[in-house]
Structure 1
């Protein structure tokens, strides 16, 4: 029973859920210019977690054939046959329904619609249409991971505005460097299953140049929040420091990639881990900024 429960939890990809919630809750604090109602935060977190878990479970069902062949994913529940595809599909659907109901009833219809739309986009557009067909899969498919910023804002305000759109774009530009760094580490796995992630079809140096482009766009967009949202001094200061450190790491990786295409030399996981820390700290700064106003 313990293994089965762990398998179902694994279908939801908890680490992905953590990252998505980290771009939801701070935006709620920023929208409220302080501490939002606890019940609202709890309902949004539960609804958002169930929605993200549902999308991940659907992804696991569809990708079970390639997951079985990749080192990074072969220990998942479906490749190990701990959970059947039918059971996983039912599980994903139940999570989707529960998340929509929770957000609709205890948050608001707009947040529920955005969450359901993000789920559908990730499954239908990224997983089914883009992932196995184009090197730009994660660029456009990554849009689904940007929705939590919108959901966090609408949960508090009940409407959209330019502020969450800027944060949406920050996550959009952050996604390619984050994902391509990981894909570079596992490019042999992706190549073996014919998934055309950019590091599979391009050299490490070429991928690094693309990462630098998106990194500059990400940092510039983060700084746009200052005039758009009228933040205090704390957020732009944090954005400048974190952005500078991220750009330094991106340039260092590009230099290493220019010397050698060996993964041992390029060390892409350095940037991957730093990208997680960057996004986490940036959104924490979003939440804390009103306290320093």
Structure 2
């Protein structure tokens, strides 16, 4: 039952921030910040992470503002605050804009303008380029739009160094290449939702066979990209072993999906890959962080 205007609860505004998505954004940003060479004041580091979290939440609020019409159609999004009538579109828009300006300004002042500029670009990319343009116009929406979710480790790195080196780009590429197989696996077993909403997701436009092939190709690229930190020399044995094992599992599940028969077996395989992909990035980035902390600890006691 819709909540009367003006009676939205705090948790409704928190829901606008897409906390489940924010958790991954914040974690990868923390890894980028801690793995980056150099030192940063702990208080400034906390402020930087909070700003990145707020910026990510602002992007989510702007996305829900613009997509409230299709959110009302899709079963997995119908209970979001706006389509459920708990928050108006205008309230969500103002909320998102205020948080965007606040997070970018504070990050820029607390750290540097490179980090602030990257955060601003991330918000614009997700809210405008992806949400307003790509999402409803091309089946490549996730491929290009995936860049928005890949920027956080670069922002965290820039908060420490004020630069955008190849190492931070390597972290960007892991997330960027993870995004298509992650979301296309979801789209394979949620085709009816996306079709009803008129969103040109790959399975609805190019068909299941083409989508499964592209998932497999991107999974190969993802597994390879996860080894780049080792090649560049800013990770060690712990990370390398984890990257190889998790990449092999991703490839195995993508291959099983590719070979799955249409219907229930295909949807089951797609759901399995999607579920695994949810934990993949956390595992890989946690391994990178652990590896770096062990190396630093070893150099200190050595």
3-state SS of paired residue (2:108): helix
Query: CA offset at residue 266 of structure 1?
Result: 3.6
Larger mean Cα displacement after TM superposition, 259-268 or 222-231: 259-268
Query: CA offset at residue 249 of structure 1?
Result: 1.2
TM-score under structure 1 normalisation? 0.94
Using the alignment, how far apart are the partners of 2:76 and 2:97 within structure 1? 25
Query: CA offset at residue 105 of structure 1?
Result: 1.7
Q: Deviations over 1:119-155 (max 9, x none)?
A: 0011111111111111000100111111102101111
**Equivalent position to 1:162, from 157, 166, 178:** 166
Using the alignment, how far apart are the partners of 1:36 and 1:272 within structure 2? 36
Q: Deviations over 1:89-144 (max 9, x none)?
A: 11001110111122112222111110010000111111111111110001001111
**Cα distance change on mapping 1:264 and 1:255 into 2, 3 Å:** closer
**Equivalent position to 2:29, from 21, 24, 35:** 24
In structure 1, runs of 5+ residues without a counterpart are: none
Query: CA offset at residue 208 of structure 1?
Result: 1.5
Say yes or no: does 1:198 pair with 2:202: yes
Tell me the number of residue pairs that the alignment of Structure 1 and Structure 2 aligns.
Answer: 290
Using the alignment, how far apart are the partners of 1:195 and 1:288 within structure 2? 39
Is residue 178–residue 219 contact of structure 2 (8 Å, CA) maintained in 1? yes
Aligned-residue RMSD, C-alpha: 1.8
Aligned to 2:67: 63
Say yes or no: does 1:268 pair with 2:270: yes
Using the alignment, how far apart are the partners of 1:193 and 1:275 within structure 2? 24
3-state SS of paired residue (1:267): helix
Q: Deviations over 1:34-55 (max 9, x none)?
A: x854213311221011111111
Aligned to 1:143: 147
What is the correspondence of 1:101-112 to structure 2 with a 5 Å cutoff? Answer: 101-112=105-116
Is residue 66–residue 193 contact of structure 1 (8 Å, CA) maintained in 2? yes
TM-score under structure 2 normalisation? 0.91
3-state SS of paired residue (2:286): helix
Aligned to 1:7: 12
Query: CA offset at residue 185 of structure 1?
Result: 2.2
Aligned to 1:282: 284
Using the alignment, how far apart are the partners of 1:44 and 1:53 within structure 2? 14
3-state SS of paired residue (2:235): coil
What is the correspondence of 1:1-293 to structure 2 with a 5 Å cutoff? Answer: 4-32=9-37, 37-256=41-260, 259-262=261-264, 265-293=267-295
Using the alignment, how far apart are the partners of 1:136 and 1:265 within structure 2? 21
